[in-house]
Structure 1
């Protein structure tokens, strides 16, 4: 489903890219139309001002929603597949970001791959993928600067908005940042930081059918600054996909 064609990369201070039209238009419209209701979400004040629905946050609501939404269940199955992980890793490797996580091929002694051993293709590091529904109010919604948990390897943030419904003046972009105090750049364990203590280097605007992808590193600081939309503005809705290692 996801089309990671034509990514626009930045490599400093850590690898991050922006992909337009990441989903087929009909699939995107269907997913936006059937996005879960706010009542199913869990409020997450420790992360800023946002709501979350995932296999960790309100898992009963999460799986019940997937069971009654064919479009989202199909997307869930896609994200959970080995093919999805391989496609993301291949795209990164093709753009000089090789995490060494692609599956190893089993080769016979004579140098020829045999059909009987293809099922033994594996990875040195066991990885899996999952996704979280996330929403924030346009008036005051935010995510504090952080670097993501150590087990996260790659994060993809997909916008889920009705075409023409969002005003860029409200904010909502995903920002790359670094602590003003550079002695605090190293943040492998993912301590959050107040916004006034970081320097914003670049902001990827919040636009329809886009994906912002970044690699977890010791300095992968990012945030969403407090938004300034009106009270009656639509919620900023996203889907966050994480490729993770099993600790």
Structure 2
């Protein structure tokens, strides 16, 4: 095998060559690129997580467009190992809330170590999850641990947690851009969600996101995001000895 430029046949013996098409891309002037980057930051910086939802309905089409946006995420070997279950039925949301609260009660009253409790204290969360029934939609995101072909045989997926997590990030951005609010919720354990929502054995719940409009009296914790200098470094920073101290 050539070390400089191996052929496709050398790297993937026995496989047909992939098909490619021209990239559709419009290169913007530098000034517009900068303006778009800054504008998008300001839009997303206005995003906040709230636990107080209005019960007003949100059209299913809005949810579908947001999920389609999430589905544009890159994924390991393009396996697209994500599934989105959108729940709007009040009775099903009530069952979902009951099951989640049962697990969360155990967490808050026994499982939660002191360090975790201290980290959550500024957020004031508890085991009561009214947002799961108040919000008009609850989206449960599943990662496909492995695929199943037509004969039920397993096919391997790659980087499923990373891929599905990227999709969740795009979903959150799409929902905010559409004028909605959401909350990332990860009850632990989450195995009951697969059974409750009738999902196959090769899927595992990753995250729960209530979606809707904020309640008129909605509040959010008084928090500050880390400044750029604490989350960003160019090359070796100010010192080659290691990361720059905040």
TM-score normalised according to structure 2 size: 0.24
With normalisation by structure 1, the TM-score equals: 0.24
Q: In proportion to residue count, which structure has more strand?
A: 1
Q: Say which structure is richer in helix.
A: 2
